[in-house]
Amino acid sequence: MKNLKLAAMEDATRTVVNVAGVEVGNDLVVIAGPCSVESEEQTLATARAVKAAGADMLRGGAFKPRTSPYSFQGLGLRGLKILEQARQETGLPIVTEVIDPRDVSWVAEFADVLQIGTRNMQNFALLKEVGQAKKPVLLKRGMYSTLEEWLNCAEYILSEGNPDVILCERGIRTFESYTRNTLDLSAVPAIKELTHLPIIIDPTHSTGRLSLIGPMSLAAVAAGADGLIIEVHNNPAAALCDADQALTPDTFSEDMRKIRALKQFFETL
Amino acid sequence: MKNLKLAAMEDATRTVVNVAGVEVGNDLVVIAGPCSVESEEQTLATARAVKAAGADMLRGGAFKPRTSPYSFQGLGLRGLKILEQARQETGLPIVTEVIDPRDVSWVAEFADVLQIGTRNMQNFALLKEVGQAKKPVLLKRGMYSTLEEWLNCAEYILSEGNPDVILCERGIRTFESYTRNTLDLSAVPAIKELTHLPIIIDPTHSTGRLSLIGPMSLAAVAAGADGLIIEVHNNPAAALCDADQALTPDTFSEDMRKIRALKQFFETL
Amino acid sequence: MKNLKLAAMEDATRTVVNVAGVEVGNDLVVIAGPCSVESEEQTLATARAVKAAGADMLRGGAFKPRTSPYSFQGLGLRGLKILEQARQETGLPIVTEVIDPRDVSWVAEFADVLQIGTRNMQNFALLKEVGQAKKPVLLKRGMYSTLEEWLNCAEYILSEGNPDVILCERGIRTFESYTRNTLDLSAVPAIKELTHLPIIIDPTHSTGRLSLIGPMSLAAVAAGADGLIIEVHNNPAAALCDADQALTPDTFSEDMRKIRALKQFFETL
Amino acid sequence: MKNLKLAAMEDATRTVVNVAGVEVGNDLVVIAGPCSVESEEQTLATARAVKAAGADMLRGGAFKPRTSPYSFQGLGLRGLKILEQARQETGLPIVTEVIDPRDVSWVAEFADVLQIGTRNMQNFALLKEVGQAKKPVLLKRGMYSTLEEWLNCAEYILSEGNPDVILCERGIRTFESYTRNTLDLSAVPAIKELTHLPIIIDPTHSTGRLSLIGPMSLAAVAAGADGLIIEVHNNPAAALCDADQALTPDTFSEDMRKIRALKQFFETL
């Protein structure tokens, strides 16, 4: 694939990104949590629930890139402190989004993994900045971007000196409107042949429908994904964003049982 | 979903399409065979190979809808006679495409399942004609079509009196060019909640890449698909169409082992 | 462009399609009329109005390809007879769609131009049939189709012996939902460099919005289109299809004035 | 359109953005110049040429958002100083892209208009920063973005206190590959009914083909656009980026003659 040096598969060995002991690229890693950090109570309750269900990391947004300037934009520093509390209590590493290059260095003090969202995939100033951070980066695919463009964005991060990039397919934009986006699961084996970096799947933002999250999680595992990132909320009806697509802890727990069993099956296949 | 009467899920019981004893919608059904019928030798060799590997039906085109008028257009009647021979020898039911409403009645004498290709999904004259045939119909999704449009095409067939429609997702057209089309696997659980008709997946035409067919077949099973339709050729390098994407019998056989094992796992989950 | 022989520009001279004296490819041709023929009164009233406004041909569907089998499917033969009446009274040549290869020969008795709709662009049985008809063909671009695929469909018609093909860009399917489809106006100069066939624009179905039809008609002329096909209805509110996007005779008349003036301007540029 | 307050048309009067005397939204404004500032000689030569041809402003990138980290990234401050020289010599106001929120305040010292590129349309940190700058903003449409999302990005800028936003349609991403992107010209009248902000067209990046730039420029004027932004290079063959799509000064000059004449025609229509 054109221009790829550090990210290209070729003779490389597969990258395993170690996040506080969780090995992305080795284990099947499940990241779960709310769309945004709304309060201490909501975040801790959700963190405890996903921990109990067997999640490996906690996700939660303190900075939210929202279509409208008048929508809830996240709690910022206060949100990061709540996430820190959640880590202390549950031991779950924290995945959180960063949207401004000026925030990278101090957000990296709170986060275990820095997330680059789909709208910022080609925000090159931000990519260069996380490329100089000492924390792993979760790089979401632009909803409009080809595999080649996506891998070139990983190359931006790698070429700045940060080898710990986790790719995340989260759906691409098509004409179909039944789902929020179209989950491109064939990206999993395609990425595996193009790069040594691990790839996880976001069944929540891609489908935008509760009923499709479970089946797409299982399909992702079957396709060979290294993990999943799933929105879970302790009380979805009250969520400040993505209320329609957050799993309840109970549904998540039942999905986790199947996901783990399926992974085990594949180890014996 | 707007305008759906006969195809809508609602209180319906799930349709099982019986094709010479193969129950689509009940069993996990694998349809395999060459893109087009090229010769007696090629078709029979492939038929024997896919039978040995455990396929349930044989696919093969006698009428080929080709982008250019100067490309091989299929053997027509001679191709159908070769398919009949293959059925006699192997016992596999035959799935073959029909592209002209004037051909439906006599092609139905040879076929066990009449296939409507992606380019003809909204060929309403053809849909009405297969709606009056006494054979099951495999209705591929238009590469440009929404779930709603697709189900309305099934409604065209059902409303003419033919209840035996099998849906087939074969990839939609997007901006991504690494794959031939983008396989929309979320269509599987989506279709299951919208209609009682069975749905199978075509991992060959959707991905257009040999290396992605195996992983996408497994992902389709995990997503809940009722079956697969896969291109296999006894000698892919010599194929008159789709030479780049036909599996060899050996690869297909190995994929079948995994597909069957995965299905069995899901029955116990 | 791959596989093109008869349709390719290269050393060819530009095709002028003569329709009862109207020279498509030479003059700026405006085709106007209702989505479907609903009644004698509606069709004649509309025909008179578009004639008075300066239209060159009358469009009107007797066979309607509708998404749902339960929508109005057109008046068939009765519709064609009404169109014939309209031609007799106004002198306007008739453009009407054909959707079934079995209908081509007799519909050609009534039509001056046979229209192939967007859903049938790759209905190869139909293309071959109109390729043998003695009437010009208006070939709409598939809403999902590349320029290359479209020109290959023209090649299907030309290679059967019919040299009189008029191309029609009518919008392609994208993620944007403010408009019904996305009008690809750059197709006009692109087609002009790839083929000698004339190309017209459908501002109605592409935009699906009354307010955009006028500006897009002018833009089409400026881009170099050979003509326009516009939906006009004597009483849009009562239309059986596309009620939201048919111009009134008054608006059409005002648009015609500007379209003709713009064309004149370009002749002096 | 949802959530729009300051950007919505409704009862607003149309915004005219005054850039050093050039009135965007009133006059037909043509912005021309090279993709990137490469050297003093190249920039000054091009600036003189576009000035002579009648351009109203000079474009040129000092910071280039490139797909690959190994491509030419722009001259940065040195490029801005060259642009300043070009302004001094020709009197043309300068349009230049900013890609990092940390650069906004000092780039604004050199630029007359701050450009936000397609990949940064939803870079909200950057939008907020230019919203606080004292310079007009040229906001390109995301190649994947709906009109609604685009206008909400304008709202981000307006709501920070900067009223001077110029929208720029530059093509959206579709399946068609003959053109680089698909120019959505219907966005011009659509935007005019949704917002009071001016809108210009980029025929260069949308089509990516020299032969289409002229016709699409004229079509844009006919559709009602407030201006054009066109790539011109004094020696396209030697350009460091977009060498295939930069007009020569001669071609640009000839296009300008037609563009101005067409605008004049419309004033009399």
Asked whether the beta carbons of D176 and C146 are under 8 A apart, the reply is yes
Distance from CA of A123 to the nearest CA of D (A): 6
- What integer pLDDT is reported at residue D240 of this predicted model? 87
Q: Distance between alpha carbon D112 and the CA centroid of its chain, in Å?
A: 12
Q: How far is D262 from chain C (nearest CA, A)?
A: 8
Q: Are strands C227-231 and D137-140 parallel, antiparallel or unpaired?
A: unpaired
Q: In b/e form, how buried is each residue of D136-152, taking b as 16+ CB within 10 angstroms? A: bbbbbbbbbbbbbbbbb
pLDDT at C202: 98
Distance, in Å, from the CA atom of D176 to the CA atom of D174, rounded to the nearest integer, reads 6
The pLDDT tens digits of the residues spanning C86-126 come to 999 999 999 999 999 999 999 999 999 999 999 999 999 99
Which residue, among D79, D30, D43, has the nearest Cα to D233 in the 3D structure?
D43
pLDDT at A123 over 90: yes
Q: What is the pLDDT of residue D3?
A: 87
From the first residue on, what is the mean pLDDT of each consecutive set of 10 residues in chain C (269 residues)?
91 95 97 97 98 98 96 96 98 98 97 98 98 98 97 98 98 97 98 98 97 98 98 93 91 98 95
In the 8-state DSSP scheme, what is residue B20? T
Question: Which neighbouring-strand residues pair with A231?
Answer: A33
Hey, is the C-beta of A99 within 8 angstroms of any chain D C-beta?
Answer: yes
Mutation pick from B119, B147, B156 vs chain C, by most beta carbons of C within 10 Å, is B119
Predicted confidence at residue D243, as pLDDT, reads 81
Cβ-defined contact of C177 to A177 (cutoff 8 Å): yes
Least confident stretch, A136-145, A172-181, D240-249: D240-249
Residue of C146, C214, C262 with shortest CB distance to D178: C146
Quick one: pLDDT at residue A27?
92
Contact state of D258 with C269 under an 8 Å Cβ cutoff: yes
DSSP code string of D38-85: --HHHHHHHHHHHHHHT-SEEE-BSS---SSTTS----THHHHHHHHH
Q: Is C162 on the interface with B (CB under 8 A)?
A: no
The per-residue pLDDT for D82 is 98
Quickly state the pLDDT bin for B243 (edges 50, 70, 90): confident
Tally of CA atoms within 13 A in the half-sphere of C209 that contains its CB: 18
> So what's the pLDDT on residue C2?
79
For position D47, what pLDDT does the model report? 98
Mean of pLDDT over chain D: 97
Distance, in Å, from the CA atom of B20 to the CA atom of B26, rounded to the nearest integer, reads 14
D166/D31 Cα distance (integer angstroms): 12
In A, which residues are within 8 Å of C175 by CB distance?
173-175
D 204-243 residues with CB below 8 A of C? 206-207, 209, 211-212, 214-216, 218-224
- For residue A220, pLDDT over 90 is answered with yes
Residues 6+ apart with CB under 8 A from B191: B147, B151, B167, B169, B197, B199
**Cβ contact (<8 Å) for D185 and C261?**
no
Q: Which of B179, B185, B265 sits opposite A183 (nearest CB)?
A: B185
Kindly give, in sequence order, each residue whose CB lies less than 8 Å from that of residue A41, ignoring residues fewer than 6 positions away.
Answer: none
Question: Does the pLDDT of residue A142 top 90, yes or no?
Answer: yes
Contact indicator for B131, B158 with CB cutoff of 8 Å: yes
pLDDT digits (tens, 9 = 90+) for B54-101: 999 999 999 999 999 999 999 999 999 999 999 999 999 999 999 999
Tokens encoding B97:
């495409």
How far apart (Å, rounded) are the C-alpha atoms in residues B75 and B39? 9
Instruction: Count CB-CB contacts under 10 A for residue A106.
Output: 12
Residue ranges of chain D with per-residue pLDDT less than 50: none
Q: Do A221 and B221 touch (CB under 8 A)?
A: no
Give B18-41 pLDDT, tens digit per residue.
Answer: 999 999 999 999 999 999 999 999
- Taking residues A107-119, what's their average pLDDT? 98
For residues D204 and D231, the answer to whether their CB atoms sit within 8 Å is: yes
**Distance (Å) from the C-alpha of residue B52 to the closest C-alpha of chain C?**
36
Q: Chain B within 8 Å of C156 (Cβ-Cβ)?
A: yes
pLDDT score recorded for residue D77: 97
Which of B175, B176, B178, B180 is best to mutate for the D interface (most D CBs within 10 A)? B175
What would the DSSP string read from start to end of C192-247? HHHBSS-EEE-HHHHH--HHHHHHHHHHHHHHT-SEEEEEB-SSGGG-SS-TTTPB
DSSP 8-class letter at D172: B
ipTM over 0.90: yes
Distances (CA, A) of A186 to B209, B261, D264: 10, 21, 53
E-strand stretches of A113-197: 113-116, 137-140, 165-169
What is the pLDDT, as a whole number, of residue A159? Answer: 98
pLDDT at C245: 94
Close Cβ partners of C249 (under 8 Å, ≥ 6 residues apart) = C46, C49, C50, C52, C53, C232, C234
Nearest-neighbour CA in chain B from C137: distance (Å): 17
pLDDT of B2: 78
Q: Does C69 touch chain B (CB under 8 A)?
A: yes
Q: What is the pLDDT of residues D63-79, one digit of tens each?
A: 999 999 999 999 999 99
Contact in structure between D188 and D150 (CB atoms under 8 Å): no
Q: Is the pLDDT of residue A121 over 90?
A: yes
pLDDT of the residue at A246? 96
Mutate one of A124, A140, A146, A155 to test the D interface: name it (highest D CB count within 10 A).
A124
pLDDT tens readout for residues B180-194: 999 999 999 999 999
Contacts of C259 in chain D (CB under 8 A): none
What is residue C11's predicted lDDT score, i.e. its pLDDT? Answer: 86
What is the structure's pLDDT at D241?
84
Number of C-beta neighbours around residue C98 at 10 A = 28
Say if residue B221's pLDDT is above 90.
Answer: yes
DSSP of B27-63, one letter per residue?
Answer: B-EEEEE-SB---HHHHHHHHHHHHHHT-SEEE-BSS
Q: Do the chains contact at B211 and A193, CB–CB below 8 Å?
A: yes
**Exposed, middle or buried by CB within 10 Å (0-12, 13-18, 19+), for C134?**
exposed
